[in-house]
Amino acid sequence: MSIRFDGRVAIVTGAGNGLGRCHALGLAERGAKVVVNDLGGDRDGSGASSDAAKAVVAEIEAMGGEAIANGADVTNYAQVEAMVKEAKDKWGRVDILVNNAGVLRDKSFSKVELEDFDFVLGVHLDGAVNCTKAVWPLMRDQNYGRIVMTTSSSGLYGNFGQTNYGAAKMGVIGLMNTLVLEGGKYGIRVNALSPCAATRMTEDLMPENLLDLLKPESVTPALLYLVGEEGPNRTIITAGAGTYARTIINETAGMWLPEDEQTPEKIAENWDTISDAKTQKEYTSGNDQTQNMLTKAAEGLNIKLQ
């Protein structure tokens, strides 16, 4: 099976450097027309320049592909709307959105300024919301869409000094989970990529001898799989150094306690059963959790669920 994107139009945010550049090139190489979006700021989000985006467009055109550069700030919804309109006016549709734009302002929680906390949340989470909101009507109308959020181990598991970044990166998972439910009947699939790569975002965080293993080029194949026509839905893929894995959020079956035993002491007494990993299950909506709780309560009380 060959995964191709001929006739598809993709928007990749933060595509002037690093992972975004690799994603844009990978999509174009397989036939997609690409909007190379990049504000052109520094790693912390300061400054702006269109040079990086234009350079990626030149690379795509040199390989015989089609692309346009766009400098929209993903935190500015009016600019994002204009970017989407430009893509539609030029190519008639938008099929793929890769929410990749990001910044870092790392400090321990006791030292981080709330302004920096909000700024990082704004770029990663609000930026993903803005771009997704802008393409959503198009994708609904054409009954087709592939959207990828960029999450991180910092959100899924935590990393010291990255409370702002981690909060944003877990936030996009919540966004993904609900968009999957709302977009399903319109042919829209929403997934998340958790990359580990050597880019200007990570160059100060890892030993130099390991950075050579973490090429952005080894992450992009996972992105291309996620946005393929037969790609998955509601899936988190981790990718780095040539290793690919799926992250799954599970919940144990739990244990029902009668009303007179619903105390913290009884929870402590039964904690091994409550937290038994052998009973873990992946839920696909919040209703699954509610159903599990009500089923257990009904069984314990010997009543029938209607």
* CA end-to-end span of the chain: 46
Separation CA 285–CA 265 (nearest Å) = 30
Question: From residue 153, how far is each of 22, 150, 166, 263 by CA, in Å?
Answer: 20, 11, 8, 34
Separation CA 113–CA 176 (nearest Å) = 28
Q: Where are the alpha helices (DSSP H) in 2-62?
A: 18-29, 51-62
Q: How many helices (H) and strands (E) does the chain have?
A: 12, 10
Contact 27, 224 (CB under 8 A): yes
CA-wise closest residue to 17 among 47, 44, 33, 39: 39
Q: What residues are labeled active site? A: 165
Place of tokens 């598809």: 8
